[in-house]
Chains A and B, each alone.
Chain A
């Protein structure tokens, strides 16, 4: 084998791979370390959180001072605290002189007002009575003489004795002026006082927050225990695992303090002197620990409410689910209540302390603003669907009946031919059972018929009935309104549809030409001045508002009436005010048309349709006999209705005649075009329109809008803008102001961004597109405020198809279901406009200036209504709040209130729901079984009477007795109504501590005190009570429940109310009812 020469340039000799190996080795080593680092730290960011937690929480616990420990001084000696305290004191000092000054002025004013009031109210009562006499006087001559009498009376001079000793004399007009001036001055001063106190209060709040951040309600040993636990913590994944609901939530690995028993704020968890960082924000305790009590985290986890990716632990973004393709990102801070909706879709009102108001507002807006007119949402506006389902049930039951009959006939035939008697009897029994079944079915059918009637009664529309436009409206106003409703009435529910002039012409032409032309009864003009008084006192302002902008007063539930005189006809208004439910013609769903007098005449029937006459004369079907409005009847007399309408037509900024002539509305050629556009825009979703009664909803269903994958939300040409966050597409300043968080600053390609932009400017997705008229986005601009956009966005974000088991849905079957169902009715009719249902909730009336000085003129609070009244009574009262069939122009219980409990004409269905609601809200057993009422002995009666009429407890001073003279100043119901209305147990609680039941009531607490385990009267007791060892409260209650009119009259007379009642009518019909012109 020949030897090969060694090549001169041998790579093995001349080249080295060492550098390569070195580099590779370094890279691999680095990778190893990286892997190790990543394993321990990079993939486990929560470890850093937990280590940081140990440090900060231990520090907090060491610095925390126990409230039980006498260490308040230590906190208060802290320089930070001292600085805050100084700021507070400075604020307080600088405001103090002016506050003192105002308070003194207010005190003087109060005395002066009282002085004037005494004289003024007497004279006003006389003037009102005379005015009423004049108005009801039929003879012209005596009318005139009475008028001159009145004028003379008004000229008479009276003297007012001021508290400072001075005397002044006034005639009536000046007296009134003085009185009003004084009151206005007081209102202005009160307002100024509020402004002055505000910064002081803010400083005080800061000071208090400092204390709560450094004081805890735990004992020192408990604090020590927490500290030990914290210091012994070794980092680990903290996980909630609920297999049956497929919940795995590791959120507490970082949010480790969420369930701590002390309140942790971002400030208290920050490193000393530093601003709160991401650690501090993560370590806070839950915002509402009460919620965690009802939603145990061990069962509910975190993500069912908050969403996000509970399993992820590798980064904040991953855990919060705020990355692409995760379908359920964490609900943003402003929309956090969306989480409630995922399980609480069946609730209308959902409030726990501070939580739930946004969502509840969203749910309410969805109904009130008519979203439901275009967009179906499970549970909303159920009546039409229920009617359909009942029609189907009826059909099914009819079929079942027919089947039973056939089967029964067959069985009977078999029986007659049977060979043995046993067999025959057996078959006969079966046949008989089937017949009994049919009777049951018949009864069920009767129930279904009644439900149908109820549903027709419950069915309401958001907007007015447009079949009445010819009777109701100023023709020329219609096109102006349609152009942009919010220009005419800024707060209207009617949205802006961006209609072209051609569309407006066509739509108004159709509405005008298809409307009813039945004649309206003519009314003589009434007294606008009296109408104004009625309007302001009867409670119209609980729902309606008056005046605009900052001057606006009243409720936001119904229309603002500032310009109603420009658009409405007087005669129609009279009918509307008298009874808004009164319909022009009944509507037959079966024949799909309005039934007129001619239909009735053909059958020889009188043209009468109301809740007692609901059958179609042609075919016996149930008719819609009411206007589908929630507006109730205030049971005004016809004259009063004329007066109110007379006042309303004076509300205008320009004359009705000033609107440009709209003769085109009579052009028949426009009609078909108009119909097309009305259908296109879905007007019939909110309005009744001839020929459109059966139109379906034009929008997409929103029940599960929050679950839609983001790809299915059409951002159109703005998709990239939203993804990149490159600017804000909305330019209109009004619409821009609707965005809850202002113009977009970053990417907004998510549900929140979509919904907020859509609600702020509904046609935003048409931007940059060229579309034919019929394909442009139809959704109108609802001119919402940014708070409203936020509420609706929250509601819709939470509208998800939950992945949780059905048992997680809040659909209780016990008393809580009654509460749930009741709220829908309560909100539907705006009961909260007048009444308080939840402590802290303000009714519209409560916020009005008129009632600030006269709280006892407000409608009653209903915090414990179910415990207060008998359900049977409540049912009766809700049906007929006058508690009287013939004399309805009055309040049945609180005759002294000017504000009127209206008649809502509730259906059987809603009556039942309301009564059950109040019982359930107060956790009362249903049905109610009254306790056996004891009969007092003569001695007990004597004792109770002496208590009842005791000068120290002058019950009859405030409570009405039926004596008109006395009841003019009454501020509480007549005792004669107690029996049958009130529950004795409640009354006893009430007389012991009324303030605890209805805070702010005129009825004082402290009438009784506890002594030897019994309730005894606080004032001096008569000698007969010597040795009486039972509850004196009970004795008094039993006495009240057996009080007779005669007894009351005797007691009243003996107490010096000379003109005692001579009438046995349980309540003074004449106090505030009757004329109402005091």
Chain B
């Protein structure tokens, strides 16, 4: 368990080096991963699966659903199909693509970074998914399924930014972000409509609402939590919830239509 974290810590600076400095510098990867790993949590009790609770709910929308704008992709003939703006996706009063996560309540607990990567696909000159949750240090695999070249250009506030080109059929890019950052925008400068958001969090308790507005977070230890609902246009709403052992509570949120 410890090794994984160490491994991740080692890979991260190495990757950034690779990205930023060209091949010569790749030889200069730091020899040993950091004496300065994040301070490990002071003996928080491990989560007992037997007492784990869960929350689920629906993100609702109050007001007339905004009409999604059509996007003209004719500038690049390789971008086939139709496309609509994804900044606010509302169907039947339910909001999709809302990022829901445990904002507060876990104390100083730390969590292992999952070994599996999350995948971001560029297909039809769109990002799939539009909103992505990932743990700090977890690998993000970026795939280009289009017959055209994209560039992936995150513009973070608290992480280092980078901007890399990805040719059609190029190998997947593997990236990580080290620090927690909600609504980290990612865009492609060649296809200006392409825009998505990464959400880098420090715990594994997060979800993205589906087209029906539903989400579910499981495996939470009992405690008092603040659950945050974040949407790129509509902003953030926080809900408090107290979970006892094996609780299964519903937490809903409602965004109001903006004038």
Write the residues of chain A forming the contact surface with B, with a CB cutoff of 8 angstroms: 401-402, 405-406, 408-410, 412-418, 421, 424-425, 428, 431-432, 435, 438
Contacts and interface: CB of A to CB of B under 8 A. Distances in A.
Contacts of B159: 428
A781 B9 CA distance: 73
B13 A409 contact: yes
A413 B160 contact: no
A424 B160 CA distance: 9
Given A425-B158, A431-B160, A410 B37 contact: no
Interface string B5-39: 00001001100110011000100111000101110
A432 B13 contact: no
Interface string B211-240: 000000000000000000000000000000
A474 B100 CA distance: 93
A401 B30 CA distance: 14
B128 to A, nearest CB: 28
Contact of A417 (B17, B28, B37): B37
A427 to B, nearest CB: 10
Q: What are the 5 A-B residue pairs with the smallest beta carbon separation, nearest first?
A: A416-B178, A421-B158, A405-B28, A409-B30, A413-B34
Interface of B: 9, 12-13, 16-17, 20-21, 25, 28-30, 34, 36-38, 157-160, 178-179
Contacts of B21: 405, 435, 438
B202 to A, nearest CB: 12
Contacts, number: 53
A413 B28 contact: no
B179 A424 contact: yes
A412 B36 contact: no
A435 B20 contact: yes
Nearest to A416: B178
A683 B63 CA distance: 97
A424 B17 CA distance: 17
A426 to B, nearest CB: 11
Nearest to B28: A405
A600 B160 CA distance: 46
Q: Do most interface residues of chain A lie in helix, strand or loop, or is the interface mixed?
A: helix
26 contacts: A401-B25, A405-B21, A405-B28, A406-B30, A408-B17, A409-B28, A409-B29, A410-B30, A412-B13, A412-B16, A413-B13, A413-B30, A413-B36, A415-B160, A415-B178, A416-B13, A416-B178, A416-B179, A417-B37, A417-B38, A417-B178, A421-B158, A431-B160, A432-B160, A435-B21, A438-B21
Contacts of A413: 9, 13, 30, 34, 36
Given A405-B21, A409-B28, 9 more contacts: A402-B28, A405-B28, A408-B17, A409-B13, A413-B13, A413-B36, A416-B179, A432-B160, A435-B21
A409 B157 contact: no
A432 B17 CA distance: 11
A438 B25 CA distance: 10
B160 A428 contact: yes
Nearest to A427: B160
A415 B157 CA distance: 13
A526 to B, nearest CB: 53
A405, A432, A438 — most chain B CB neighbours (10 Å): A405
A640 to B, nearest CB: 49
A416 B17 CA distance: 14
A413 to B, nearest CB: 5
A417 B36 contact: yes
A199 to B, nearest CB: 78
B179 A406 contact: no
Contacts of A410: 30
B38 A406 contact: no
Contacts of A432: 160
B30 A414 contact: no
A435 B22 CA distance: 11
B34, B159, B160 — most chain A CB neighbours (10 Å): B160
A421 B157 contact: yes
B14 to A, nearest CB: 8
Contacts of B178: 415-417
Nearest to A401: B25
Contacts of B38: 417
Contacts of A406: 28, 30
A410 B12 CA distance: 12
